[in-house]
Amino acid sequence: MAENKTAYEPLTVESIPVRLGVVEAVTRHLGSETETWQADEVGDGNLNLVFLVKSPKSTLIVKQALPYVRLVGDSWPLPLSRAFFENSTLVRQAERDPGSVPEVYHFDEEQAIIIMEFFTPHAILRKKLIAGEKVTDLAETLGNFCARTAFRGSDLFMATADKKADAAIYLGNSELMAITENLIFTDPYFDAELNNHTEGLEPLVATLRGDIEMKTAVQEMLLKFSSNAETLLHGDLHSGSVMCTDDESKVIDPEFGFYGPMGFDIGMLVSNYLMSYFSQPGHRNDADLAEYQNWVLELIEGTYTAFEAEFTHLWNTERTGILFPRTMFEDQGHSADGALTKVLQHIFTDALGICGIEMHRRLLSLAHNADFEEIEDTAIRAPLEARNLMMGRELIRQRGEIANIHALCDMARKFNEETFL
């Protein structure tokens, strides 16, 4: 039995028992005694309604897209189809890296509702990083996630006609891609209306906007973002899109799913780890600071190392697509290891470019990170943000020259000692 088909209408805590009590996928989990259900709106993101719906039997997440950007209001319309793309991406991620994302119990395209698995006692990773908490196996889980989704969604693995048909579907998510194109790749580098930044950063903003070579590199990366449909990506893989216990991590919220460069997700993730790293002096005292900052750098190294190890494993065991076919390498007695090295270098270069740009936009454009925003004293915050901005610039400019993830972490240590304001 499915919900009655009616025109789109936002859910409320009051209407949920009536509207979802007729959905078999829901009653299977919560039971059909809807009077025992308790619904709470818990959305803290920028875009959607999110409800936690509990019964004595179980708990579910009910996520519904709004026809506008929640953060801004109905002056900024946004299509309901993003729920379709979120659902589609969750389904593909579950196939490509089983257990990594919430299981979808029910999807209603017309109502833009996804009903899915509730993770407990998981908390948003960003909050844990701000609180100085560690998560066991986080690096391996997310490194594997990025490798498996990147590889298995690409022409290295898929039948290319299937991949092209899927890429065609995702080009329909153009309005969400446009948010990324504007807020991430463009707005930070001119005086855009929605921009804001911490007082005191003005000289560095001027430095960034005055760096024509760097801006050119940013736009070279935008050319890749908007055109290079290498694989299906999460599209918004920051530490707010990860939920963890002390030893388990899950990825959520892929409504920005799109086909793009294989280095995009891992680059954005590393970027958000670096922002955690640079913001730590605003959150803890000297006794814990160095040790936790070191843990964050180890997390970065561990994540990227796991990514490359898993990508290598898949290259050697699942390379069934049109790219780098065995007929041209192994079947002629030729190793494809050199080709893998080139592909990994290509991914790393793109990842570093994305990483640096994300480090800029989170401080200069519309949607800032709690890592820095929760440092209330701007006299403390601004100098930390300055390190982050300047390292972002270096990553964009030097993205083709940085040897490996260890060199990136060494660079972070160096910037963490510098004073720019």
**Rounded CA separation 126/130 (Å):** 6
Closer Cβ to its own copies, 15 or 174, answer by number: 174
Question: Positive or negative CA dihedral for 398, 403, 408, 413?
Answer: negative
Contact between residue 153 and residue 163 where contact means Cβ atoms under 8 Å apart: yes
Contact between residue 404 and residue 417 where contact means Cβ atoms under 8 Å apart: no
Closer Cβ to its own copies, 86 or 230, answer by number: 230
Q: How many of the chain's residues bind its own copies (CB under 8 A)? A: 53
| Residues in a beta bridge with 243 | 124, 250
Residue 81 touching its own copies (CB under 8 A)? no
- Name the segment binding its own copies (CB under 8 A); options: 5-13, 37-45, 290-298, 331-339: 331-339
Closer Cβ to its own copies, 10 or 400, answer by number: 400
Give one DSSP letter per residue of 268-310, joined into a string: HHHHHHHHHHHHGGGTS-HHHHHHHHHHHHHHHHHHHHHHHHH
**Backbone φ, ψ for residue 137 (5° rounding):** 65, 10
Residue 222 touching its own copies (CB under 8 A)? yes
For its own copies, the binding residue among 322, 379, 380, 407 (CB under 8 A) is 322
Side by side, which strands form the sheet with 59-65?
A: 38-41, 48-54, 59-65, 113-117, 104-108
Contact between residue 45 and residue 253 where contact means Cβ atoms under 8 Å apart: yes
- Please report how close the Cβ of residue 378 comes to its own copies at its closest, in angstroms: 26
Closer Cβ to its own copies, 28 or 342, answer by number: 342
For its own copies, the binding residue among 8, 118, 329, 420 (CB under 8 A) is 329
Closer Cβ to its own copies, 42 or 159, answer by number: 159
CA atoms within 13 A on the CB side of 198: 28
Residue 335 touching its own copies (CB under 8 A)? yes
Burial-class residue 101 by CB neighbours within 10 Å (0-12, 13-18, 19+): buried
Closer Cβ to its own copies, 36 or 216, answer by number: 216
To which H or E segment does residue 62 belong?
A: strand 59-65
Q: Which of residues 341-360 bind its own copies (CB under 8 A)?
A: 342-343, 346
| Residues in a beta bridge with 116 | 61, 104
Question: Positive or negative CA dihedral for 394, 143, 182, 369?
Answer: negative
- Please report how close the Cβ of residue 143 comes to its own copies at its closest, in angstroms: 22
Contact between residue 175 and residue 78 where contact means Cβ atoms under 8 Å apart: yes
**Rounded CA separation 348/405 (Å):** 9
- Please report how close the Cβ of residue 110 comes to its own copies at its closest, in angstroms: 22
Contact between residue 276 and residue 129 where contact means Cβ atoms under 8 Å apart: yes
- Please report how close the Cβ of residue 259 comes to its own copies at its closest, in angstroms: 8
**x-marked contacts with its own copies along 225-264 as a string, rule CB under 8 A:** -xxxxx----------------------------x-----
Residue 194 touching its own copies (CB under 8 A)? no
**x-marked contacts with its own copies along 151-190 as a string, rule CB under 8 A:** ----x----xx--xx-xxx-xx-xx-xx--xx---x--xx
- Please report how close the Cβ of residue 364 comes to its own copies at its closest, in angstroms: 13
For its own copies, the binding residue among 216, 294, 316, 320 (CB under 8 A) is 216
Residue 401 touching its own copies (CB under 8 A)? no
Contact residues for its own copies, defined by CB under 8 A: 155, 160-161, 164-165, 167-169, 171-172, 174-175, 177-178, 181-182, 186, 189-190, 192, 209-210, 212-213, 215-216, 218-220, 222-223, 226-230, 259, 322-325, 327-329, 331-332, 334-335, 338-339, 342-343, 346
